[in-house]
Structure 1
Amino acid sequence: MKSICGDLLLQRLGPEGLGAFGKPLNRGLYECIRGAILDGSLPRATRLPPQRDLAAELGLSRNTVMYAYEQLLAEGYLRARTGSGTFVADTAPESYLNATAAAITDAGPRAMPGLSPRGQQLLANASASPTQWGAFMPGVPDLRRFPHRRYAQISARLWRQPPPEWLSYGHGGGLPALREAVAAHLRVARSVRCDAEQVLITEGIHQAIDLVVRLLGSTGDQAWVEEPSYWGIRGVLQVSDIGMVPMPVDDEGLTLPEADAGRLSGRTEPAPRFIFVTPSHQYPLGAVMSLKRRRALLEFARQHGSWIVEDDYDSEFRFSGQPIPSLQGMEADAPVIYIGTFSKTLYPGLRMGYLVLPRELAGAFQTAHAELYRAGHLMTQATVAEFMQAGDYAAHIRRMRPLYARRRAVLAALIERYLGPGALNAQGSNAGLHLVLRLPDDADDVAITAAARAKGIMVRPLSRYYLGTPAQRGLLLGYACVPEEDIGPAFDVLLGCLGECGHAAHVARIG
């Protein structure tokens, strides 16, 4: 059996072998191994094959290999342990001399093709945070309260004798058992009109949106997005060459222009191919779309041939009043594609979401999903399916609702006490996993965010959620992942950051 080291050396030697070095074989082998050590291809502590084995792999005499090893040992590139073998030394000799290791080739650095304009634009507007845990990180549930033991028991039992098909590529939109469990949950909890055949399991919201845009959109199509809206949606639309039109949000949700004779009154652009909305809890401001606005939106989409993409991202966590039913379930055969995720109810690292599709699109989406993404993770899907079927999923949500409600109340009380009632965003409903702290119009919420993060407080600037000129400055404060006893101390640190930036005394003047 060939060793990794042997394969590496054979690749470097090429078809001409050691003869390409124009030197004696033993010297050529020495330089080949030395070069691999210096450029990191053979990392420190790597165990080299025994001399006899490497000689057989390379088609050389043992004496040739022995010379190379002994020379490298003498120069400190290798070390030998009796009974264990020969290893790459922890530090190459050049490190002691503070000299730069010689390059394998004398050629200078080559110019590499640069990013495309689309790639450059995506990176210029990137908003993903390198830190995803801590006070007050928005959108993150309390991962310490997840029923790890119960979930692990299900997973361990399934792994004892997994069906071979669960370990291969997935097809058909996800494991049937999970699709049935998701459909059953959505019918009861969200009044979604669906069965298992309409459900497609994805790796989160981003993949779901990407699939929708790829299959139903064309380059140059327009999409209406809420203003402000989730920045992740905008990134997916941007790389798909879908134009974005920001539509203002008021107390009733996304606003609609007047329609006149099938045309958009007062607007020159064509009707949108997509309308992205978060009707049950607008993200990030928190408004609930009114029944009148929902009916108008459905009628508008039917008249203009638009697809409504309903993101129901944290609808399970409503702390007062009646649950808000889905937009998709209001009318039969509504032009709505419903998307959801387990990131808020289970944990974000699960990377599992779902689409609910009109029946006539389901088959095409299943095929395209398998073709584009080579779906898998069926063992994880099987675990989540049993977790849901056994009632653990619903029980976990029931346990977390009062916990999050208490944490929300604690944080809201602190904001009102120290910054005044006007500091809380007026549109925010009693739901979700974050609050919006309003700031004066002249505040630099991006700078305040940076100052807070330097002190370990994770907030997000509201201005980054606007596609156009920000209409409002503020901070998104997530409370779900912060224990109640830690909310006060963390808020004190945030107050200090507001004071340092000169805004703590002025926040109470808002409203």
Structure 2
Amino acid sequence: MDTVILSDWLAARLDRTAAEPVYRQTLRLMQQAILTGQLPPGTKLPSSRTLAEDLGIARNTVLHVYDQLTAEGYVISTTGSGTYVADTRPDTAAVNTREKPAVASVDADSANQAAATAKPPKRDLGDLSTRGRRLIDQAGVSAKQWGAFMPGVPDVAEFPARTWSRLQARLWKEANPDLLTYAPGGGYRPLRRALSDYLRVARSVNCTPDQIIITTGIHQSIDLAVRLLTDVGDRAWVEEPCYWGARSVLQSSGITLVPVPVDAEGLNPREQDLQQPPRLALVTPSHQYPLGMVMSLARRRTLLEYARQHNVWIIEDDYDSEFRYGSRPLASLQGLDDAGQVIYVGSLGKMLFPGLRIGYMIAPEHLVDTFRTGVAELYREGQLMQQAVMTDFIMDGHLTSHVRRMRALYGERRQILIDAITARFGNELPVMGDEAGLHLVLGLPDHANDRAVTAAAYDAGVIVRPLAAYYSSETPARRGLLLGYACVANEKIGPAFDTLARVIEQTALKKKPTRAA
């Protein structure tokens, strides 16, 4: 393309009525011509005066375009000589690392046309790493995060937003610069002190404020512990079944998962499990997720002793044990640990609102400095203003009163749901894990496909999760549905369950086909 053709080519493509300025259009079109080879390397561009006259635009506009092309490396300007297209073609010796089949020779125009019309290869899961593909293939995250019967979600409509807004406005009015920077030292110290006091009373943990590391939630807490305490290929015990999110964090870090079955007393390692001590064990002792059983004191003491003897790290996930119905919240496993093997992780999101993104971990004393450095190095933590608001919320007694009020409300909703199940199915379908938390498990017959029930319920406007999704095996030990009741208004529970019940009757309660004689 010579300079005369360039002027005609640009003039034909400039849209004087478009919202995009002529300067931006001219720059974009010239970049396109250079990248596609229509303006080959070494081509001398017309002078700014000539091109401006040909296009009928201001000379300053062309000068700005040339300056930008020069700054971005598209052209080279030489005083007294002119402006030339730079050679920006890829180094074929560096790019062509694999042999390619011979192709028939083509002329320059054909090559330029091919370059202009070529499309990048279609992207799919084949572009991902092995662990990336596994993460996406086994993802458990839902497109909807609210409504009947979404498990694990509190009723955010009941959050005392006015109180929170007042506390937040007071802090923003002061605008302390120290609250607008990164969060060194494991988080806002007053919050760590307030959490330490709260957890000692509410959860019987044994810690000082210095042992608490503020994170964005349980996922980040587990990720930090895994990154600092394990290497790729290390083995980790996980409960079978277990929370899919924790499983994804471990797998994406290159950890080899060892599913360990649970029974009525919690984690129940088999002989072959005990023969090969893992690097870490992830457990939910106060309220097993998703089945809901509590780890017995004998099992807790056995696990702690095994961890001490074999140098196993225990991550205790204590995600929603504050909501216990009919009895007081149970003491933590960490409170029994005298060997410094337990890393306790929790979140304030289930108590308040998930978007809060404030979690915490309690590190053994000898790992405090390591974890502080790790969280700052990997995640560059901030949100100090949010942490300061949370501190005042706790110190003024709002957290305790809110949890007490929500425990009563969730208890009512739990009972309404159980009554609806009993009225519809009697004892035909068992209810499991309803003593605590924000969900219960509705058992299904062994021949039922709980994934299919979940899909059919979604189409009917009801959100549930299949119990099968929490097992590592394709043939889960139990079939069932997780039903969250916390975020469903009392009057909506009955109608929503009627819809779900019809789906269950149509898809799960049909008799299993028998083989013909």
Pairwise TM-score range, normalised by the shorter structure: 0.7 to 0.9
What letter is aligned with 2:427?
P
Distance 2:470 2:53 in 1: 65
Distance 1:410 1:474 in 2: 19
Is the Cα contact below 8 Å between 1:415 and 1:424 reproduced in 2?
Answer: no
Which residue matches 2:245?
232
Is the Cα contact below 8 Å between 2:308 and 2:339 reproduced in 1?
Answer: no
Count of matched residue positions in the alignment of Structure 1 and Structure 2: 434
1:36-91, Cα deviation, whole Å (9 max, x unpaired): x9xxxxxx99664899xx9xxxx96796698469xxxxxxxxxxxxxxxxxxxxxx
What letter is aligned with 2:388?
A
Verify: 1:445 aligned to 2:450, yes or no.
yes
* 2:349 maps to which of 332, 343, 352: 343
Other structure's SS at 2:184 match = coil
Is the Cα contact below 8 Å between 2:346 and 2:361 reproduced in 1?
Answer: yes
Distance 1:248 1:463 in 2: 14
Which residue matches 1:430?
435
* 1:399 maps to which of 395, 405, 408: 405
Distance 1:47 1:158 in 2: 43
Verify: 1:110 aligned to 2:120, yes or no.
yes
Is the Cα contact below 8 Å between 2:343 and 2:361 reproduced in 1?
Answer: yes
Deviation of 1:405 (Å): 0.3
* 2:303 maps to which of 297, 300, 305: 297
Which shifted more, 373-382 or 472-481?
Answer: 373-382
Distance 1:49 1:384 in 2: 51
Distance of aligned partners of 1:110 and 1:292 in 2 relative to their CA distance in 1, 3 Å threshold: same
Distance of aligned partners of 1:327 and 1:173 in 2 relative to their CA distance in 1, 3 Å threshold: same
1:344-376, Cα deviation, whole Å (9 max, x unpaired): 101111122110000110111111111111111
Distance of aligned partners of 1:166 and 1:105 in 2 relative to their CA distance in 1, 3 Å threshold: farther
Is the Cα contact below 8 Å between 2:347 and 2:358 reproduced in 1?
Answer: yes
Distance 2:2 2:381 in 1: 45
Verify: 1:171 aligned to 2:184, yes or no.
yes
Deviation of 1:322 (Å): 2.6
Other structure's SS at 1:244 match = strand
What letter is aligned with 2:437?
G
What letter is aligned with 1:297?
L
What letter is aligned with 2:370?
A
What letter is aligned with 1:28?
L
Distance 1:445 1:293 in 2: 31
Distance 1:357 1:482 in 2: 36
Verify: 1:211 aligned to 2:231, yes or no.
no
Deviation of 1:323 (Å): 2.1
Distance 2:277 2:455 in 1: 39
Which shifted more, 236-245 or 158-167?
Answer: 158-167
Distance of aligned partners of 1:235 and 1:21 in 2 relative to their CA distance in 1, 3 Å threshold: farther
Which residue matches 1:144?
157
Verify: 1:457 aligned to 2:467, yes or no.
no
Distance of aligned partners of 1:68 and 1:503 in 2 relative to their CA distance in 1, 3 Å threshold: farther
Which shifted more, 495-504 or 217-226?
Answer: 495-504
Distance 1:287 1:46 in 2: 63
Which residue matches 1:130?
143
1:157-196, Cα deviation, whole Å (9 max, x unpaired): 2112322232222211111111111111111100100111
Is the Cα contact below 8 Å between 1:278 and 1:310 reproduced in 2?
Answer: yes
Which residue matches 2:204?
191
RMSD: 2.9
* 2:383 maps to which of 357, 377, 384: 377
Verify: 1:278 aligned to 2:284, yes or no.
yes
Is the Cα contact below 8 Å between 2:285 and 2:294 reproduced in 1?
Answer: yes
* Percent of aligned pairs sharing the same letter: 49
Other structure's SS at 2:414 match = helix
TM-score by length of 2: 0.78
Distance 2:315 2:438 in 1: 21
Distance of aligned partners of 1:25 and 1:280 in 2 relative to their CA distance in 1, 3 Å threshold: same
1:183-238, Cα deviation, whole Å (9 max, x unpaired): 11111100100111000111111111110000000111111111110001111111
Which residue matches 1:249?
262
Which residue matches 1:92?
none
Distance of aligned partners of 1:276 and 1:64 in 2 relative to their CA distance in 1, 3 Å threshold: farther
Which shifted more, 469-478 or 22-31?
Answer: 22-31
Distance 2:18 2:219 in 1: 41
Deviation of 1:270 (Å): 2.4
Distance of aligned partners of 1:429 and 1:137 in 2 relative to their CA distance in 1, 3 Å threshold: closer
What letter is aligned with 1:123?
I
Is the Cα contact below 8 Å between 1:433 and 1:479 reproduced in 2?
Answer: yes
1:122-151, Cα deviation, whole Å (9 max, x unpaired): 111111101000000000001100001110
Distance of aligned partners of 1:30 and 1:219 in 2 relative to their CA distance in 1, 3 Å threshold: same
Distance 1:184 1:163 in 2: 25
Which residue matches 2:67?
none
Distance of aligned partners of 1:278 and 1:472 in 2 relative to their CA distance in 1, 3 Å threshold: same
Distance 1:449 1:178 in 2: 40
TM-score by length of 1: 0.79
Distance 2:371 2:286 in 1: 25
Is the Cα contact below 8 Å between 2:196 and 2:209 reproduced in 1?
Answer: yes
Is the Cα contact below 8 Å between 1:288 and 1:429 reproduced in 2?
Answer: no
Other structure's SS at 1:457 match = coil
Distance 1:395 1:49 in 2: 62
What letter is aligned with 2:179?
W
Return the index of the structure with the highest Cα Rg.
2
Verify: 1:500 aligned to 2:506, yes or no.
yes
Deviation of 1:432 (Å): 0.7
